[in-house]
Amino acid sequence: MWYRPIKLAHFRLAHSRQPFLVAYSRESLEMVFDAHDRAFAFWGGIPQRMIYDNPRTLVDAVKVGKARRFNRQFLALANHYLFEPVACTPASGWEKGQVENQVGNVREWLFSPRPRFQDLAELNAWLAQQCREKLAQRPHPDQRSRTIGDVFAEEQAQLRPVGKPFAGYVEKACRVSSTCTVGYDRNRYSVPAEYAGQSVFLRATATRIKIVQEGKSLACHARCFGREQQILDPWHYLPVLERKPGALRNGAPFVQWDLPSPVRKVRDHLLKQDKGDRAFVEILLAMKAHGSELLSVACELALEHKTLNAAVVLNHVNRLKAPSPVRE
């Protein structure tokens, strides 16, 4: 059994008390953006004002009374959705206490005993279901004869309609390393080899890492939440293999990707031959140009005829992509 710490974003509407919960691996600004998008989509609307417990991801400075300096990017989110952000007053029991009570209630209602899940996606689907069903069926604290869900159905009509989601991300300027990667949150993500040594911008969301340069998207990866991991797209390194095909024989980690079975069989056969690495690079170039499906068929034909070399495979490719003659 393996336990993993999580951060839980907790929203609750003031009138109906309808909650929304979503879990993340850690608390960061891009997670906050995503949590708001999900909460508004779940409620089907946006409240006019939202009160926050002074999280450091949102509040840069706490001043006297309710004066705050909110994070500039968070204010962009508030302006996009047109709600007023308000922070709790420090040491104010009637505000701070409500937040802490919510945390205790959720722990008792949903996490005692502790449930088990395969991943965050499964957990978040379960949390949304619990908010929609179990928690919505609880009695409303002020209108005891009605449920939270009943009052929410009325309050939902008063919420501002949700328009286009906020495309929130955290951007970082960085330089592509000699190994064609950029770093973020103690992990490294690959960039096409031709951009090695160049300056780019990395945009991080709750789920994706995107690398751009002058408005052009260079790479996009699913975000990793481990530590000291390398998330590599082997196709980014194809120009390197053209210059140094021997990397195929040396088992370089960036070429260990999931190829279609026929292509993989041809690769294994070619790498046993003299200069077979160069031959397989030619096949990879054709695969990038024409797609994996066509190359798979070409490799299957080569395997059937037991003539495994790059020239035969590429000849099959040319025949397969050629238009069929029209019979009169």
Domains of the chain: 7-158 (3.30.420.10), 170-232 (no CATH), 237-321 (no CATH)
User: Which DSSP state fits 157?
Assistant: G
Q: Which residues pair with 69 in a beta bridge?
A: 61
Question: What is the arithmetic mean of pLDDT over 126-151?
Answer: 94
Task: Tell me the C-alpha distance between 293 and 304, whole Å.
Answer: 17
pLDDT of 224 reads 92
* Residue 305 confidence class, pLDDT cut points 50, 70, 90: confident
pLDDT of 324 reads 56
Indicate if the pLDDT at residue 97 is higher than 70: no
Indicate if the pLDDT at residue 81 is higher than 70: yes
Task: Tell me the C-alpha distance between 45 and 16, whole Å.
Answer: 13
**Pairwise pLDDT comparison (116 vs 257), residue with the higher score:** 116
pLDDT of 146 reads 95
**Pairwise pLDDT comparison (38 vs 234), residue with the higher score:** 38
Question: What is the arithmetic mean of pLDDT over 267-287?
Answer: 85
In contact, 171 and 56? CB cutoff 8 Å: no
pLDDT tens column, 278-290: 888 888 888 888 8
**Span of 114-128, 285-299, 313-327 with lowest mean pLDDT:** 313-327
Residue type present at position 55: P
153-169 exposure pattern, b = at least 16 Cβ within 10 A, e = fewer: eebeeebeeeeeebebb
**Span of 26-30, 213-217, 239-243, 315-319 with lowest mean pLDDT:** 239-243
Task: Tell me the C-alpha distance between 225 and 216, whole Å.
Answer: 25
Residues 6+ apart with CB under 8 A from 272: none
Query: What rounded mean pLDDT belongs to the chain?
Result: 87
Helix extents (H) in the chain: 29-43, 72-81, 93-110, 120-132, 148-155, 238-243, 261-270, 276-290, 292-305, 310-321
pTM summary value: 0.79
Share of residues in the chain with pLDDT > 90 (%): 48
Cα angle at 71 between 121 and 88, to 5 degrees? 85
Question: What is the arithmetic mean of pLDDT over 160-171?
Answer: 92
pLDDT of 325 reads 55
Task: Tell me the C-alpha distance between 168 and 305, whole Å.
Answer: 54
Residues 6+ apart with CB under 8 A from 197: 175, 176, 178
Residues 6+ apart with CB under 8 A from 53: 87, 88, 96, 99
**Span of 88-97, 118-127, 300-309 with lowest mean pLDDT:** 88-97
